[in-house]
Structure 1
Amino acid sequence: MSSLAYETSHPETTTAEADTALQSLRPVPRISIQAFCETEAVASPIERAGEDRRMAKAHLKVHMGGLSTAVEFYQTAATPNLIILESRGEPKDLLASLTELAELCDPSTKVVIVGHYNDVWLYRELTRAGVSEYVVAPISMADIVSVIAGIFVDPEAEPVGRSIAFVGAKGGVGSSTLAHNLAWTMSALFESEVVVADLDLPFGTANINFDQDPAQGIAEAVFSPERIDEVYLDRLLAQCAERLSLLAAPSTLDRTYDFDAEAFAQIIDTAQRSAPLVVLDVPHLWTSWSQTTLARADEVVITATPELANLRNTKNLVDTLAKLRPNDGPPKLVINQANVPKRPEISADDFAEPLGIMPLAVIPFEPQLFGSAANNGRMLGEMDHNHPVVQTMNDIAYILTGRREIKVKKKSGLAGLFERLHLKT
C-alpha cells in the first residue's frame, strides 16, 4: 500500500538528482540535533548530513542505540531542538515506547522517526502524537538534510527562535549584565545556540562583557535593512563561545541613533530564524522602537533594584506591557543588587505586592564577583561556577526557557508605600 510517510531516496536515485534537490534548500539555522541510531546504514548518512554546507551552523551528534538509549540519555540531559530516532520495532511497540521519551522532552523539542515499516496507520498515529516526520529506511544524506530543512527552514513556518527581551527599570540596575550572563548560561547549560543583540548602539557594553571587538555589528544591519537575510546576518555575528554569537553595538558617538518603530523588527525576525534563542539587550529608554521591541518579544524580563523609583518605573512598565501584550503573561521580574550595606531597601515581597508578580530571583549585591567578571571580560559562570549567584542564574535560565515553572507564594500588603507612589492597586 502507498505510504503518507516522507518519500526517501532510493538506490536508483542519481547523484545529480540528489544534488539538484539539495541546491534548492536554504541553510539550516543554529539548532542542536541529536540522533540515536540502531544501524550503521542510518547512522552513516546522518553523519554525512552533518558535514553538508547547509548544516554548517547546526550542531549534530550521532549516538549508537535507539529509543531506550535516548530515554536513558535524557534522564540527565536537556533535550535538543531536534531528536532523530531510528527504530526497528513494530508499529504498536514503537508508539508505546515513545510515551516514556515524551515525558522527558522539552515542549519545543521536535522529533523525527526513522522506521522500517511503510505503514500509513503508523504515520498517522505518530503525527497525531506530535512527531514532526516519519521517514522510512533506507535513507540518504539528502533525505536527512531535506527533512531537517523542511521542519526548520519553511519560509511560512513560525520563527524557530524564542526572543527574550531584557530591560532595566532604571539605568545602572544591571539589566545588560543579567542579559549577557543568562545568554551565556543558556548556551552552555542547554547546549543551545544563542544570539545576543545589543540594541544600545551608542553605549552598549556587550562587546566589553564578552571581550569582543568586532569590525561589524548591529549598526550595519539597522542602517542597511534591505540587505538583511540569514547570510548577511551571519557575517555580522561575532562568535563569543561555542554556541554563543553576538550582534555587537558600535558603542560610539560619531552619529545619532534615531530610529522608527520598525527599525529592529527585521533584524530580530531574521535572528529568530537563525537560532533557537535570541536575547535582546534593550536599553533603558522609551522610544517607538524600544516599545515595539518589548511588545513583540516572546518574553520580557525587567531588572530592578529594591528602591522606590525602581518600583514606580517597574509598575509603569508592567501596566503598559499589559496593554501592549493583552494575550501574553506579565513580564518576568528580577530584583538585582539587593542587601547593599547600610542602604534602606524595599523587601522583595513588598516590592512585588503592588506589581502582582513575584520575582524570578533576588540577586544579592556581590561587587567582588561582578566586578572581577566585568574587568576580565568573562561571565560569572566562568569566574566561579559554584557561586550561589551562578546557581541562581541557572535557575532563571531554566524558567525562561520553559524547563521549569515559577513557584508562587502569597505576598504581604504595601498600602502605605503605594499611596506615596500615587499608583493604582
Structure 2
Amino acid sequence: MSTLSFSKPKTGARAADFIAFVSDRQTEQVLKTFVLEQAMPHAHVAVGSIDDAIAYLSKIERSPLFLLVDLQNSVMPLSDLSRLAEVCEPSVQVVALGERNDVGLFRSLLKLGLRDYLVKPLTVELLKRTVNVTEGKINQVSLARAGKTIAFAGTRGGVGVTTLALNLARHLADDTHRRVAYVDLNLYGGAANSMLGLQSNNGLSDVLQNTHRLDPQFVERTLVSKGSRLFVLSSELDYGAAREFQPGALARVIELLCDSFHYVILDVADPADALAQEAFNHASRAYLVSDRSVHATRETIRLLRFIEDRDNNPQTSLLINNPNAAVSGKVAPDDLMSAVGRTALHEVQFEQKALATAENLGEAPAERAANGFNQAVSRIASDLTGQHLAAERSFFQKLKLKRK
C-alpha cells in the first residue's frame, strides 16, 4: 500500500485533517497534488480498499475532518459505506468516488450521510470545488449525519438502569469502537461516576446553565473521559441546591453531543423529572428496565405509554432485569409480558457477586465471572447497532449458496 503521510498531531487531536483511500495510482497522484497545493499539514493518502480504510480508522483516536473513499472495486457500496460509518464520528465529512454516473446511487449515498459523490476521472480542480479547506467543509449541501440518542429509564428504583446503561456504553466504546457520551441526568449525583472510578466535575449543571454560550469546544471541556472513546457528563450538586437552567437546555446539549459522538446515552434518574421529559422528546431509541414485581409491571404499562406518546415516538424496548436473587413470589416473565402487551427484548439474569465487586472497584465486570450479564449486554448492543440483522442476512446468504 502506497501512502502519503505528514506529521502526526498530538495525542487526542485528530489523526489527520484529510484521509483518502483510492483504488488506483493515477487517482492517488491527483490527491497528493491536491494535498500539497492546499498545504494540508495532517493528511494520509493511500492506495487501498474500503476495508483498508475501516482498519485504519479503527486504530486512530479521532476521525478526520474529511474522508474520501473509492467505490470502484466495491461490489456492495451501500453495505460497505454502512460498515465504514460505524468507525467514523458523525461529524466526519465523507466524499465517495466511483466510475458509475448513477443518480439512484447518488441519492442512496446522500441518505447514508455522505456529502458528495464524484465520478472519475478525478482532477485537482474538481477537488478544489468540492473540498473547501479554508472553511473546513464540503461545498455540496446535504443533511449531516448525527449520532443516536438513547434514553434508559427504570420502572422503580434499584432495577439496575445505570448498571445496564453504563455497561452498554462500555461495550460500545471498547468492543465496537464507537465514541460514546454518557449523560447521568441525576444532578445530585448518580452512580455512574463511582461505577467508573471517576469524580464528577459538575459539567452537566455548567452546560445547562450556560446554553447561551454553548459550542462544541465548551461541551467537550465539561466531559470526563474514561479511555479514548467513553466520556461522561454529570453533576453532583449539594442536596438542596437549586437547579438553575431554562427549559430546552438539555436539547441544545444533546444536539452538540450528537455532532461528535456515535451514541449519546441518557441515564434518566426520574421519569417525572423535567430533564426526563426533554430526554424522551429527543431520544431516537429508549430502553425501559423493569423487574419482576407487580408494582414494576404496572409502572411499565404507564411508562411505555408515557414515553411513546410524543411527537418523536421513540422506538422503545422492554428489558427485564433480575437485580436480586431468585425467590418465590416473583411475577413470571410470561405473565409480565402478557400484562404489558409487549415482548421483552431481553431478560438479564441475576449475577451473585461479579457485578457488585466490579461496581465497588470501578471496573468492568470480569469476563468469566459475569459471563451471563456480559452476554446480555452484548445482545442489547447488537440490537442497537443492527449487527444481529447483519448476522441474519449473512446466514441466509450462506444458506442460499449451499442450496445452489
Q: TM-score, normalised on structure 2?
A: 0.72
What pairs up with 1:201-350 in 2 under 5 angstroms? 201-250=187-236, 252-253=238-239, 255-257=241-243, 261-325=247-311, 328=313, 330-337=315-322, 340-350=325-335
Partner of 1:192: 178
Does 2:89 align with 1:103? no
CA offset digits 1:97-146 (Å, max 9, x no partner): 4442423553893853245x7xxx72745413425223435468x94868
Aligned residue pairs total 351
Partner of 1:181: 167
Q: Distance in 1 between matches of 2:123 and 2:373?
A: 48
Instruction: For residue 361 of structure 1, report the CA deviation from its aligned partner.
Output: 1.2
Instruction: For residue 312 of structure 1, report the CA deviation from its aligned partner.
Output: 0.7
Q: Distance in 2 between matches of 1:124 and 1:368?
A: 57
Does 2:106 align with 1:127? yes
Does 2:355 align with 1:370? yes
Partner of 2:397: none
Q: Distance in 2 between matches of 1:294 and 1:85?
A: 36
CA offset digits 1:264-313 (Å, max 9, x no partner): 12111221122121001110240333223213211111111111111111
Whichever residue aligns with residue 49 of structure 2, its letter is G
**1:70 touches 1:101 (CA, 8 Å); kept in 2?**
no
**2:216 touches 2:256 (CA, 8 Å); kept in 1?**
yes
Instruction: For residue 377 of structure 1, report the CA deviation from its aligned partner.
Output: 0.6
Among residues 362, 365, 374, which one is paired with 1:390 in the alignment?
374
Shift in CA distance, 158/308, structure 1 to aligned 2, threshold 3 Å: farther
Shift in CA distance, 338/37, structure 1 to aligned 2, threshold 3 Å: same
Whichever residue aligns with residue 395 of structure 1, its letter is R
Shift in CA distance, 166/145, structure 1 to aligned 2, threshold 3 Å: farther
**1:205 touches 1:251 (CA, 8 Å); kept in 2?**
no
Shift in CA distance, 399/43, structure 1 to aligned 2, threshold 3 Å: farther
Q: Distance in 2 between matches of 1:123 and 1:29?
A: 33
Q: Report the RMSD for the aligned CA atoms in angstroms.
A: 4.2
Partner of 2:49: 66
Shift in CA distance, 64/296, structure 1 to aligned 2, threshold 3 Å: same
Shift in CA distance, 336/260, structure 1 to aligned 2, threshold 3 Å: farther
Percent identity of equivalent pairs: 23
Shift in CA distance, 330/370, structure 1 to aligned 2, threshold 3 Å: same
Say which SS state the counterpart of residue 311 (structure 1) adopts. helix
Q: Distance in 2 between matches of 1:98 and 1:174?
A: 44
Whichever residue aligns with residue 386 of structure 2, its letter is G
Q: Distance in 2 between matches of 1:328 and 1:183?
A: 23
Shift in CA distance, 349/158, structure 1 to aligned 2, threshold 3 Å: farther
- Greater CA deviation, 218-227 or 156-165? 156-165
Q: Distance in 1 between matches of 2:184 and 2:214?
A: 17
Q: Distance in 2 between matches of 1:230 and 1:67?
A: 29
Q: Distance in 2 between matches of 1:137 and 1:384?
A: 55
CA offset digits 1:338-391 (Å, max 9, x no partner): 6723242222222122323222211111131110110111123x6559812212
Instruction: For residue 170 of structure 1, report the CA deviation from its aligned partner.
Output: 0.6
**2:186 touches 2:269 (CA, 8 Å); kept in 1?**
yes
Q: Distance in 2 between matches of 1:125 and 1:159?
A: 19
| Structure 2 unaligned regions, length at least 5 | 1-12, 86-92, 392-404
Whichever residue aligns with residue 276 of structure 1, its letter is H
CA offset digits 1:149-190 (Å, max 9, x no partner): 4499x8x94661110011111111110111111111111222
| Structure 1 unaligned regions, length at least 5 | 1-27, 53-60, 408-425
Instruction: For residue 30 of structure 1, report the CA deviation from its aligned partner.
Output: 12
Q: Distance in 1 between matches of 2:333 and 2:348?
A: 11
Shift in CA distance, 376/357, structure 1 to aligned 2, threshold 3 Å: same
Shift in CA distance, 346/36, structure 1 to aligned 2, threshold 3 Å: farther
Instruction: For residue 228 of structure 1, report the CA deviation from its aligned partner.
Output: 1.5
- Greater CA deviation, 131-140 or 282-291? 131-140
Shift in CA distance, 157/127, structure 1 to aligned 2, threshold 3 Å: closer
Partner of 1:22: none
Shift in CA distance, 101/176, structure 1 to aligned 2, threshold 3 Å: same
Partner of 2:148: 162
